[in-house]
Structure 1
Amino acid sequence: MEKEEEGEGAVKLQIKFGGSTIGVRASGKSTVSELKCILQELTNVLPRGQKLIHKGRVLDNDCASLSSFRIGDGSKIMLMASQGLHQGDGPILNQAPVLPNYRKLSKTTTASSTTTTTTTSVLSNSRIHRWKVTGVIGLSESNLKVIPDQVWECGSSARLLDLTNNSISHIPLNITSLTSIQKLILSSNQIADDSINWHALSQLNNLQYLSLNHNLLTYLPPSIGALTSLHHLHVAGNLLQSLPLQISNLTRLQILNVSSNRLSTIPPCIGDCGSLTEVDVSSNLLVMLPETLGSLHNLKSLRLSNNGLKSLPSSIFKKCVKLSSLDLHGTQITMDVLREVEGWEEFDKRRCMKYQKQLDFRAGGSAGFDEGADKN
Structure 2
Amino acid sequence: MEAGGGGDATTASDSIKVKIQFGGRSIPVEISVDSTVKNLKSTLQPLTNVLPRGQKLICKGKVLEDEMTLKSLGITNGSKIMLMASQGLHQGSGPLKKEVPAKKELERVQMNTIIPMVTRENKAKAAGPNPVQRWKSTGVVALSEHGLKAIPEEVYGLRSFVRVLDLSRNSIQEIPDKINLLSSIQKLFLNANNLVDGSLSWKGLESLKSLTILSLSHNSLSELPPAVGALTSLRQLQVENNDLISLPSEIELLTELQILKVNNNRINRIPDSIGGCISLVEVDLSSNLLVELPETVGNLKDLKALYLSNNGLHSLPRTLFKTCGQLSILDLHGTEVTMDLLRQFEGWEDFDTRRRLKHQKQLDFRVTSSAEFDEGADKS
Q: Is TM more than 0.5 here?
A: yes
Deviations 1:245-281 (A, max 9, x none): 1111100000001111111111111111111100111
Cα distance in structure 2, aligned partners of 1:308 and 1:344: 22
Q: What is the letter of the counterpart of residue 197 of structure 2? A: D
Partners of 1:363 and 1:305 lie apart in 2 by 15
- For 1:232, the equivalent position in structure 2 comes to 236
2:331 maps to what in 1? 327
What 5-or-longer segments of structure 1 have no aligned partner? 1-5
Q: Does 1:273 align with 2:285?
A: no
**1:125 Cα offset (Å):** 5.3
Equivalent residue number for residue 5 of structure 2: none
Q: 1:130 to 1:103 in 2, by over 3 A?
A: farther
Give the alignment partner of residue 32 of structure 1, picking from 31, 37, 49.
Answer: 37
Q: TM-score, normalised by structure 2?
A: 0.89
Aligned to 1:78: 82
Measured in 2, the distance between the counterparts of 1:192 and 1:207 equals 21
Q: Among residues 39, 44, 48, which one is paired with 1:43 in the alignment?
A: 48
Matches of 1:241 and 1:330 in 2, distance apart? 20
Alignment partner of 1:294 is 2:298: yes
Q: Which amino acid aligns with 1:47?
A: P
Q: CA deviation at 1:26?
A: 2.5
Residue of structure 1 in register with 2:160 after alignment? 156
Give the 3 Å change call, closer, same or farther, for CA 352–70 of structure 1 in structure 2.
Answer: same
Instruction: Give the deviation of 1:364 after TM superposition.
Output: 8.2
Q: Shift in Å at residue 337 of structure 1? A: 0.8
Where does residue 98 of structure 1 map in the other structure?
Answer: 100
Q: Quick one: distance in 2 between partners of 1:207 and 1:7? A: 61
How has the CA–CA distance of structure 1 residues 205 and 362 changed in structure 2, closer, same or farther, with 3 Å as cutoff?
Answer: closer
Once the two structures are TM-superposed, the CA of residue 363 in structure 1 deviates from its matched residue by 11
Amino acid of the residue matched to residue 48 of structure 1?
R
User: Which SS does the other structure have where 1:102 is aligned?
Assistant: helix
Determine if the alignment matches structure 1 residue 127 to structure 2 residue 131: yes
Distance 1:170 1:7, change over 3 A: farther
8 A contact 1:264–1:284 mirrored in 2? yes
> Separation in 2 of the partners of 1:168 and 1:126?
23
Aligned to 2:16: 11
Residue among 15, 22, 26 paired with 1:21:
26
- Give the 3 Å change call, closer, same or farther, for CA 195–49 of structure 1 in structure 2: same
Q: Distance in 1 between matches of 2:41 and 2:324?
A: 35
Distance 1:349 1:84, change over 3 A: same
In 2: Cα distance, 1:361 partner to 1:226 partner: 38
Unaligned 5+ runs, structure 2: 1-10
Q: Compute the TM-score of the two structures, normalised by the length of structure 1.
A: 0.90
CA–CA distance in structure 1, aligned partners of residues 144 and 364 of structure 2: 41
Counterpart CA distance in 2 for 1:34 and 1:179 is 53
Please report how far the alpha carbon of residue 100 of structure 1 lies from its aligned counterpart in structure 2 after TM superposition: 9.9
RMSD: 2.7
Matched, 1:347 2:351: yes
Structure 2 CA distance, aligned partners of 1:361 and 1:189? 34
Q: Distance in 1 between matches of 2:296 and 2:90?
A: 26
Deviation of the 1:77 alpha carbon: 0.8
Q: Which residue of 1 aligns with 2:252?
A: 248
Distance 1:304 1:7, change over 3 A: farther
- Tell me the distance in 2 between the aligned counterparts of 1:310 and 1:361: 26
